[in-house]
């Protein structure tokens, strides 16, 4: 990740899945993704970050964000979501310390929320907004393969 610099995401790239990159959290929070073509982003297996997303680190074109297997993630920072008005889907998988949310609620434009595995934030979000879908069955734009 260090060798790419700030402009490494090509504008034609629409879907990006990053898994088990040890420097991922630090890189995203310091550089961010500056690709207005990116619509689906999956960040999996990152250990350094306790709060995400920071303001401006994600592109406004994002429609779906997946955060998974993040053992130290504690807080969803809603300031980092404000400019993501195209974001419709948030997927959270196995984030066992994720129990806080800044500003007490997710932005209204997020219409689908999927939470899988251990995540203490689930109980807080169930009562937050009846229009948001918290599901345990996976029905998303992401395509998964069995390994």
Tokens of 136: 């345990």
pLDDT classification of 17: cutoffs 50, 70, 90: confident
pTM of the model: 0.81
Q: Is residue 8 part of a domain?
A: no
Q: How many domains does the chain have?
A: 1
Angle at 64 between CA 93 and CA 96, to 5 degrees: 15
Q: Is residue 70 part of a domain?
A: yes
More confident residue, 2 or 9: 9
Percent of the chain with pLDDT over 70: 73
pLDDT of residue 122: 78
More confident residue, 61 or 8: 61
Burial 87-104 (b: 16+ CB within 10 A, else e): bebbbbbbbebbbbbeee
Is residue 120 pLDDT above 80, yes or no?
yes
Q: Is residue 140 part of a domain?
A: no
pLDDT of residue 104: 67
Q: Is residue 5 part of a domain?
A: no
> The domain containing residue 29 runs over which residues?
15-135
pLDDT classification of 57: cutoffs 50, 70, 90: confident
Closest alpha carbon to 125 in 140, 103, 109, 104: 104
């Amino acid at each position: 990740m260090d060798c790419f610099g700030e402009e490494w995401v090509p504008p034609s790239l629409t879907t990006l899945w990053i898994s088990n990159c040890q420097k991922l959290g630090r890189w995203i929070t310091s550089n961010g993704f500056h690709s207005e073509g990116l619509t689906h982003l999956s960040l999996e297996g990152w250990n350094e970050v306790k709060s995400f997303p920071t303001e401006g680190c994600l592109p406004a074109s994002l429609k779906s964000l997946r955060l998974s297997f993040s053992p130290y993630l504690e807080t969803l920072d809603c300031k980092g979501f404000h400019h993501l008005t195209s974001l419709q889907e948030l997927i959270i998988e196995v984030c066992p310390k994720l129990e806080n949310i800044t500003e007490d609620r997710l932005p209204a434009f997020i219409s689908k929320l999927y939470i899988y595995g251990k995540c203490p934030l689930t109980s807080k979000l169930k009562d937050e907004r009846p229009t948001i879908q918290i599901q345990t069955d996976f029905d998303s734009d992401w395509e998964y393969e069995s390994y």
